[in-house]
Structure 1
Amino acid sequence: MKKINLTPPSLAAFSLLIGLMFAGIAIASDSHDAPAPAATATPASKPKAVSGSADDEMSKALMNKISKGSGDIVIRTGDLPAGTAAAEAKTAEAKPKAAAKMNKSSEKEAADAHGVHWSYIDGPGGPENWGNLSKDNLACLKGKTQSPININVDRAVKAELPPIEFLYRPSSLSIVDNGHTVMVNYGEGSNLIVDGRQYRLVQFHFHKPSEEAINGERTDMVVHLVHQHHDGSLAVVGVLMSTKNSPVARKFWFGDEPAKGNPLIQTLWNNIPLVKNKTEMPGVMIDVNQMLPSDRSYFTYMGSLTTPPCSENVLWFVMKNPISVSEDQVKNFDRIYPMNARPLQPKGDRLIKETKGN
């Protein structure tokens, strides 16, 4: 037998040749694992363990495609071992599912909040939940000087209060049913002056029954006249409306004469738009002075808006004497808004002042 001497260069070449032979065997093989000795073949019924990362398995599948000469090289999940495909699918789905699970509650709450609008009816949008509908409404829930309140006459401080100067002038009617009440946007040039501060009349709107209570009793309706100072602060005048004549308006000792309708109220009701949230300007002139009582004595306190966002630091003036409206006028508003008054809020330690001697 002839002895072969392998020099280092020959040995390197021989090693490369052996490596290529085994590489050819690996490429030709249809298995993703290293070939096993013939004597210890793995039974077909026993599933093969998947080893290595998903990238290793993808490389082996690619080599298998090349060895078969299958044309365009496209790796599909079907080309990968079952364990690898499942593992990759599980990994791909894990993050979205986890994120969806984490955000499920917050998304539901957001959807509920955006889908529910505030109202006066008990439920998700009711007064007890106004503060939960938006972060802008937190004052409705956590405010300490909220309106409306019950005015206990016996607990009000009698004081020499400055008279309210109502410098109102006629305005062209601009009226809208905003889905919560009937509101009139008033023209510029009408102002209220009290204690040296001037507020411009911006708009007025109605509630049924009156939101304010006097000694625990609410009247049939109330009109809120909303004013704004040039610094942005607000002053609201509440004029109570009643179908019962005041004692000074009674003409017969044996009974009450039915209250007459208010002419301005009738003009407004005649021009309520047929479509909600659509402002109508019918070319009619109105004078808000027609909704002021002849006796201008009042209660005053610090409170808030009575609708969301329930902003506080609002200066309130509640006229002590109501104006008269007819039952038909109240019934007509009732046909649109049977009840649009916020529940009474805690008075707390707030001070209520009352015009002295009235």
Structure 2
Amino acid sequence: MNKNIKLSISLLALALSYAVSSSAIASDAPAPAASTDKPKAAVTATAATSASGPTDDDMSKALLNKINKGSGDIVIRTGDLPAGNATAPSKPETKPKATKAAAKAAEKDHHDVHWSYVDGPGGPENWGNLSKDNLVCLKGKTQSPININVDRAVKAELTPLEFLYRPSQLAIVDNGHTIQVNYGEGSNLIADGRQYRLVQFHFHKPSEEAINGERTDMVTHLVHQHHDGGLAVVAVLMTTKPPVSSKKYWWGSDEVKENGLIQTLWNNVPLIKGKSEAPGVVIDVNQILPADKSYFTYMGSLTTPPCSENVLWFVMKNPIYVSEEQVKNFDRIYPMNARPLQPKGDRLVKETKAN
């Protein structure tokens, strides 16, 4: 065997022996007995300690490499050890993305809030924040309802409204915000030469619109749609106050009686919200129109989300009369479902000129 090879093997054996003895001397405490129930945390810590420094195998390889190169010394320096075994800098602990997760959770909770008439997260002041589809509720410039100042309304010779209504099978639903009646096809409104189909009517308590700052007990909104998608809403005010000209006779008085159509509707309100009922009853919406059909008109919006604008409004100047019990019955279902008044801005309000 070649003398150099013999010398190399001898030196290698010597280095290994030295490394093993040095490792044993470096430990002051005796090695703990092996235990099968050693805590996992301790095992992890031991493994981490071993990985932090070079192993005996790494030192042997480095020494053999030196001998083969004939470098002239057998001192093992840090630079001679494999780079992968150098103590790696500790990585900063990765923090959970709590902020992002919390934001997503908050966003989800935000969208889970449904709009309502009660102050709070879903209240009228927050409708525009509940969904991007409702932004116009917050940023719109022609929102409804408004207060109509009679002294500021322009008196004009307006075309009379033509109510071409016919009887319909009753289809009634409590939609969670109001009592709504979906009306059958064939009933129309003619306004300024345009024909609008009556789609549905529903109720608010108190009236959403105000006349000279005063709201009535209730209002019904008759919603019509043109074939081009345009909307026209007729607001019929409802009051329990008797007419000023009411008289008393020996057989009684002409005090306000209950409205027949309203009573039919209340009799057939579904027991379950969201469920539409068709009880086989025929109704005639003409029964909730005032005899005097003069009106105010202005451009506005829907009074519920998404608050779409460019709605042509007709507010009847004269209310219809209902009984206190009929108003109380609605109050038992919806004590208050009216949107706050919105700024009128520079909008023009017209009023039919008195004859």
- Structure-1-length-normalised TM-score: 0.75
Q: Which amino acid aligns with 2:124?
A: P
Q: Tell me whether 1:309 sits opposite 2:306 in the alignment.
A: yes
Q: Please report how far the alpha carbon of residue 318 of structure 1 lies from its aligned counterpart in structure 2 after TM superposition.
A: 0.2
Which of 278, 284, 287 is residue 284 of structure 2 equivalent to?
Answer: 287
Deviations 1:322-344 (A, max 9, x none): 01111111111111111111111
* In 2: Cα distance, 1:183 partner to 1:177 partner: 6
Question: How does 1:90-105 map onto structure 2 within 5 Å?
Answer: 93-94=94-95, 97=96, 99-104=97-102
Specify the SS of the correspondent of 2:333: coil
Q: 1:43 to 1:223 in 2, by over 3 A?
A: same
Q: Tell me whether 1:173 sits opposite 2:170 in the alignment.
A: yes
Question: Contact between 1:190 and 1:200, CA under 8 Å: does it hold in 2?
Answer: yes
Q: Please report how far the alpha carbon of residue 219 of structure 1 lies from its aligned counterpart in structure 2 after TM superposition.
A: 0.5
* In 2: Cα distance, 1:317 partner to 1:146 partner: 14
Q: Tell me whether 1:38 sits opposite 2:22 in the alignment.
A: yes
Q: Please report how far the alpha carbon of residue 100 of structure 1 lies from its aligned counterpart in structure 2 after TM superposition.
A: 2.5
Q: Tell me whether 1:132 sits opposite 2:129 in the alignment.
A: yes
Q: 1:156 to 1:19 in 2, by over 3 A?
A: farther
Q: 1:18 to 1:236 in 2, by over 3 A?
A: farther
* In 2: Cα distance, 1:102 partner to 1:352 partner: 49
Which of 192, 195, 198 is residue 198 of structure 1 equivalent to?
Answer: 195
Consecutive unaligned residues of structure 1, counting only runs of 5 or more, are: 30-34, 46-53, 65-80
Question: How does 1:228-243 map onto structure 2 within 5 Å?
Answer: 228-243=225-240
Q: Please report how far the alpha carbon of residue 113 of structure 1 lies from its aligned counterpart in structure 2 after TM superposition.
A: 1.6
* In 2: Cα distance, 1:226 partner to 1:319 partner: 14
Q: Which amino acid aligns with 1:320?
A: K
C-alpha RMSD of matched pairs (Å): 3.6
Question: Contact between 1:258 and 1:326, CA under 8 Å: does it hold in 2?
Answer: no
- Give the aligned partner of residue 349 of structure 1: 346
- Give the aligned partner of residue 74 of structure 1: none
Q: Please report how far the alpha carbon of residue 112 of structure 1 lies from its aligned counterpart in structure 2 after TM superposition.
A: 2.7
Which of 246, 252, 267 is residue 270 of structure 1 equivalent to?
Answer: 267
- Give the aligned partner of residue 73 of structure 1: none
Deviations 1:148-196 (A, max 9, x none): 0000000000111111111111110000011111000001111111111
Q: Which amino acid aligns with 1:220?
A: D
Q: 1:290 to 1:101 in 2, by over 3 A?
A: same
Q: Please report how far the alpha carbon of residue 132 of structure 1 lies from its aligned counterpart in structure 2 after TM superposition.
A: 1.2
Q: 1:195 to 1:18 in 2, by over 3 A?
A: farther
- Give the aligned partner of residue 251 of structure 1: 247
Specify the SS of the correspondent of 2:265: helix
Which of 207, 211, 216 is residue 213 of structure 2 equivalent to?
Answer: 216
* In 2: Cα distance, 1:169 partner to 1:39 partner: 104
Q: Please report how far the alpha carbon of residue 246 of structure 1 lies from its aligned counterpart in structure 2 after TM superposition.
A: 3.0
Q: 1:239 to 1:57 in 2, by over 3 A?
A: same
Specify the SS of the correspondent of 1:335: helix
Q: Please report how far the alpha carbon of residue 39 of structure 1 lies from its aligned counterpart in structure 2 after TM superposition.
A: 9.7
Q: Please report how far the alpha carbon of residue 21 of structure 1 lies from its aligned counterpart in structure 2 after TM superposition.
A: 7.3
Deviations 1:47-67 (A, max 9, x none): xxxxxxx9x959x99x99xxx
Q: 1:39 to 1:269 in 2, by over 3 A?
A: closer
Aligned residues: 305
Q: 1:289 to 1:19 in 2, by over 3 A?
A: farther
Q: 1:18 to 1:318 in 2, by over 3 A?
A: farther
Percent identity over the alignment?
Answer: 68
- Give the aligned partner of residue 296 of structure 1: 293
Q: Please report how far the alpha carbon of residue 245 of structure 1 lies from its aligned counterpart in structure 2 after TM superposition.
A: 2.8
- Structure-2-length-normalised TM-score: 0.76
Specify the SS of the correspondent of 1:332: helix
* In 2: Cα distance, 1:280 partner to 1:57 partner: 75
Q: Which amino acid aligns with 1:312?
A: E
Q: Please report how far the alpha carbon of residue 243 of structure 1 lies from its aligned counterpart in structure 2 after TM superposition.
A: 0.9
Deviations 1:115-149 (A, max 9, x none): 32111111111111111111111111111111100
Q: Tell me whether 1:207 sits opposite 2:209 in the alignment.
A: no
* In 2: Cα distance, 1:18 partner to 1:272 partner: 104
Q: Which amino acid aligns with 1:266?
A: Q
Question: Contact between 1:131 and 1:138, CA under 8 Å: does it hold in 2?
Answer: yes
